[in-house]
Amino acid sequence: MKKGSNIGSCRFCGQNVMLEDGAGMTAPQLEEAATMRCECEEATKYQESANRRTLAKQRIDELFGKDAGEFRQPEEVKAIMINVVDAICDKKMKAATITVRTGLACRIMQMAKDKIKVVREISNNNEYVQ
């Protein structure tokens, strides 16, 4: 084995994968890295799911993070949105709407083929209540 490399096993099929950057990894990290590189059917499904989760979290950061201008939200609010993404990806819920303030909301939902949709909703309703 080369210096700096290690072997991990796919959690689904058990196939060994040489990880060039795996020298300092723990057993669970080696398993995760090997699973993310394996080409068996279950690992491929897992990789797609992990990528959807990562992309949805990136969308939250784009829509509500530090570069979102007037729509930027505190880390506590973004953490709630990210927890919703995790719950949807883990099939614990289907959708959620988080009303950040009057006129600004975040909708996160599971679409067809398990895609995750993240929407920043802005409404400028002029409503007067007395």
Question: Which tops the pLDDT comparison, 56 or 114?
Answer: 56
Mean pLDDT of 97-104: 92
Give the full edge-to-edge strand order of the sheet including 95-101.
95-101, 104-110, 116-122
pLDDT in tens, 79-96: 999 999 999 999 999 999
**C-alpha distances in angstroms, 46 versus 41, 93, 96, 127, 130?**
9, 19, 23, 46, 53
The answer to whether 73 and 60 have CB atoms below 8 angstroms apart is no
pLDDT digits (tens, 9 = 90+) for 1-52: 446 889 999 999 999 999 988 888 999 999 999 999 999 999 999 999 999 9
Q: Where are the domains of the chain?
A: 6-39, 43-122
**Does residue 128 carry a pLDDT above 70?**
no
